[in-house]
Amino acid sequence: MSLLVVGSVAYDSIETPSAKRDDVLGGSATFFSYAASFFTDVRLVAVIGEDFLEADLDRLRQRRVDLTGLVREPGESFRWGGRYHDNMNERTTLFTYLNVFQSFKPVLPPSYRATPLVFLANIDPALQLDVLDQIESPELVACDTMNFWIDGKRDELLELLARIDVLVVNEEEALDLSGAHYVAGAGRAIQELGPRTVIIKRGEYGAVLFSDQDIFFVHGYPVEDLTDPTGAGDTFAGGFMGYLARTRDFSARNMRVATVVGSLMASFVVEGFSLEGLYNVDMQKIHERYRDFVAHTQFDPLKL
Ligand code: AMP
């Protein structure tokens, strides 16, 4: 089952407590499509500027990501900068330069219009809505967002939420969006806004899935070398949606497995800067972590 993503393709500047990298490959759609490509074929919609290097696009071409919907416009590419705090779970955005995204009007190539699965990655909710309007009766639509849009484009975001099936957000964003003070309250409150399924990501502590009445807790896979958490959320979403696309099963039971797959994919990307942690991943490594994950979470429910 094909999967379409609209989001940013960007250059990021990252500071962690021990290192600094400027203008590395990033963007919500980049991380998402790379991770999802292990499970299904991915169609990407985004805009880049004249400065974007072909060598960086080759990374996505090597994963057979369909770039028909990626347009190059005059001007500079989207740029984002972030600094991680000592605990690496919190970060401060240093800058967000929309550049070519400022005037972007996505037009879906005809070959994309009947895509059954859609992920509206973190980007202006007005653009997410634009893309959604151009898809012919999708089977499942998921979306991500961030504080920048929750605070800046709340009305458009609420309009979008009423039309989607799954929202994937981090804890801080979920609290901000819902006005709740704790995760369980936030999940249920966001379900009331539209999406039947809500996933709240919690960094190294994993994620919580609210699917209809079901609630499921996933921990983060314990990585030995946490290098750069950037893109973990998008990579999580790529694993989650990629797995759903491959299995074509949107039941609450299968959403649980998809959440585990998302968590595993995110564990690879944080082991390197930019997308480096994903470059050596293959299905065998994914299966190994999956087996580990089952072992880490299984226990005999002995009588209390
Ligand atoms: P994550 O760490 O999963 O939240 O994703 C970080 C990625 O999102 C970076 O590669 C950024 O380029 C991209 N990003 C950051 N802010 C925005 C924004 N306002 N709109 C779109 N993409 C963004």
Domain ranges of the chain: 3-297
What is the structure's pLDDT at 203? Answer: 87
pLDDT of residue 204: 85
How far is 93 from 86, CA to CA, in rounded Å? 15
CA distance 163 to 98: 25
Compute how many other C-beta atoms are within 10 angstroms of the C-beta atom of residue 157.
22
Residue labelled with tokens 């994950």: 293
Q: What was the pLDDT predicted at 95?
A: 97
Is 3-297 CATH 3.40.1190.20? yes
Listed as ranges, residues in the chain with pLDDT below 70 are: none
CA of 9 to the centre of ligand 1 (A): 9
For residue 185, what pLDDT is reported?
96
Q: Which atom of ligand 1 is nearest to the CA of 148?
A: 19
**Per-residue confidence (pLDDT) for residue 87, from 0 to 100:** 87
Q: How high is the pLDDT of residue 90?
A: 87
Residue where the block lists tokens 């799954």: 166
Q: Which one of 12, 28, 44, 119 would you pick to mutate in the ligand 1 pocket, going by the greatest count of ligand atoms within 8 A of its CB? A: 28
Whole-prediction pTM? 0.96
The ligand 1 site (C-beta within 6 Å) comprises 8, 10, 12, 26-28, 80, 96, 122-123, 146, 148, 230-234
Ligand 1 pocket check: which of 44, 96, 122 to mutate, most ligand atoms within 8 Å of Cβ? 122
Edge-to-edge strand ranges of the sheet holding 20-26: 20-26, 10-15, 78-84, 91-97
Contact 72, 32 (CB under 8 A): no
CA–centroid distance, 16 to ligand 1, in Å, is 16
Query: SS3 for 181?
Result: coil
**What pLDDT is stored for residue 257 in this prediction?**
97
Residue 183's pLDDT is what?
95
Q: Is the dihedral of CA 85, 209, 46, 32 positive or negative?
A: positive
Mutational test site, ligand 1, from 146, 169, 275, max ligand atoms within 8 Å of CB: 146
Residue nearest (by alpha carbon) to ligand 1 atom 18: 123
Nearest residue to 164 (alpha-carbon basis) of 132, 139, 195: 195
Amino acid at residue number 63? R
